[in-house]
Amino acid sequence: MFKVLTSVSAAMLVSILLMTLCSIISKTTIMDREKMSPFECGFDPKSKARLPFSLQFFLIAVLFLIFDIEIAIILPLVITLKTNLFSWALTMAIFIMILIVGLYYEWINNMLEWAK
């Protein structure tokens, strides 16, 4: 117990020491409009530095992640094939039907179209 307490206190001491040292050494910057604006040869920027984010791109990226996770879930189920074929087939059928119903819902609501 004493070793754990010593290790935790040493870790806390090193962390606090490093945070204090970094705050002392770091150079503070003044946040003003000129320093925060993008540099374009001394002129005012012609457009905003940050472009608006496309909601359609976000939806398609989320759909890709969902189907990517689907593969990560399906692959380990192949190992269970040798134990009980009927339960494996039933589990896979239910899982794939849920995904197909979700894909159909997204298709009906035009969530899969890139441009409107």
For the chain, the structural domain boundaries read 2-36, 55-108
Query: Between helices 55-77 and 85-108, what is the axis angle to 10°?
Result: 170
Which amino acid does the sequence have at 17?
Answer: L
pLDDT digits (tens), the chain, 116 positions: 888 899 999 999 999 999 988 878 776 555 656 666 666 565 555 666 566 677 777 777 887 888 788 878 777 777 766 667 787 778 888 888 988 898 888 888 887 776 66
Residue 29: per-residue pLDDT: 53
For residues 27 and 110, what is the distance between their CA atoms, to the nearest angstrom? 51
What pTM value is reported for the model? Answer: 0.44
Positive or negative, the Cα torsion across 60, 66, 67, 68?
A: positive
Contacts of 1 (CB under 8 A, 6+ apart): none
**Secondary structure class of 31 (helix, strand, coil):** coil
pLDDT at 11: 93
pLDDT reported for residue 46: 61
